[in-house]
Structure 1
Amino acid sequence: MVRPGRGAYVVDLRDRRTARALQFPAGDLVVVSGLPGSGKSTLMHRVVPPADASGAAVHRIDSQDVRERWARGRLRALPYGLYRPLVRAAHYLGLRRALRSGGSVVVHDCGTLAWVRRWIARSARRGGRGLHLVLLDVPPEVALSGQRDRGRGVSRYAFARHRRAVRRLTEDARAARLPRGFTSVVLLDRAAAEALRSVAFG
């Protein structure tokens, strides 16, 4: 069990397969970031619990979940590009509700939208809650392979933007520079992420 807490420090679990669980204080916010295809959604689905130690709901906010719900609905016959703005709006409304709930929240972050992290940081600060970054540090070729495996990728231009954004986050974490408003960063490579079994709040 690794407890990042709220001490404004970096926990580097890369090349370590012994960490089976992460534990955060109840009510804290966790942002999961990394390259497209690095395994963020897979990790969140596998390790984020439905409730914390007291039984209060843990909110898992992933735009991919919203996209899949819409894809199964009335718009499934349309190209995704046509209803993508609606998916984005629904995702951010869900995030807004989760942040206002006061409960524990785990958010999927694409890495390029710094304004989203600033929004979450403001919410954490106003509520006196900790804010943690879980950063998947995987090579670009591994992320590209992950995109091929799921049958959905991003453009070369978009991937280049993601690479720059995630590289900055990773370099800052390696230098013990936390993003503004964050109280801890957890660095995972693919092996460490696969070894992780649970995320707990309590």
Structure 2
Amino acid sequence: MTVEQAASRERLRYPAGDIVVVSGLPGSGKSTLMRRTRPVAGVLLIDSQSVRERWARRLGPRLPYQLYRPLVRIDHYARLRRAVRAGGSLVVHDCGTLPWVRWWLTRQARRYGRGVHVVVLDVPAEVARARQEARGRAVSRYAFARHRWAHRRLLDSARDGGLAAACASVLVLDGAAAGAPPGISFG
């Protein structure tokens, strides 16, 4: 287990078959980093945003997200569970507000002989918020405040070694590196 603070890297490389959890504030670059994952057979990307978009297309624009959010979460966690059990390399989008998800992933990974690596994007809140607004996909002020609180706890845990106790590695990418995130590859 290692905890590393990084300013920049070209590519994040992990052992084949392991699970990489990408966490950070909304707008910090999690989805961008995930899109830069080297597309090879056996690597799955699990992003709750893609599940949300699929449900939105299916249900139409008139139904508010708050009403079908439970369906999105159930679908997302069911997909995540199947992907973990199927094996293969996995990159998971983690909003960071639900610590039980990382706990469950590390427990399942150990069960199947896999490592979990956490990448925390440490982007200033005002930068993340501005990126969200530029995309037209901003969460409410209340939700963003919850994300900030949870993200601070996650960063503290990453830096004091608490998170590393359960993970194969923890990497904190600072604002400069998270602004132009590297890609992820396995093997």
State whether TM-score is above 0.5: yes
Contact 1:20/1:195 (<8 A) preserved:
no
Alignment counterpart, residue 59 of structure 1, candidates 35, 44, 49: 44
Q: CA RMSD in A?
A: 1.7
Q: Does residue 7 of structure 2 align to residue 22 of structure 1? A: no
Which blocks of at least 5 consecutive residues in structure 1 are unaligned?
1-7
Distance (whole Å) between structure 2 residues aligned to residue 156 and residue 93 of structure 1: 29
Which string of whole-angstrom CA distances, capped at 9 and with x for unpartnered residues, describes residues 118-166 of structure 1? 1101111101111100000011101111210121222222222211211
Alignment of 1:120-135 (within 5 A): 120-135=105-120
Alignment of 1:33-182 (within 5 A): 33-45=23-35, 47-51=36-40, 56-182=41-167
- SS of the counterpart of 1:12? strand
Instruction: Label 1:25 to 1:44 Cα distance change in 2 as closer, same or farther (>3 A).
Output: same
Which blocks of at least 5 consecutive residues in structure 2 are unaligned?
none
Q: Does residue 4 of structure 2 align to residue 11 of structure 1? A: yes
Q: Which runs of 4+ in 1 moved over 6 A?
A: none
Deviation at 1:114, TM superposition (A): 0.6
Deviation at 1:180, TM superposition (A): 4.4
Identity within the alignment, %: 61
Letter matched to residue 27 of structure 1: G
Task: Give the paired residue count.
Answer: 187
TM-score under structure 1 length normalisation: 0.85
Deviation at 1:105, TM superposition (A): 0.7
Higher helix share: 2
TM-score under structure 2 length normalisation: 0.92
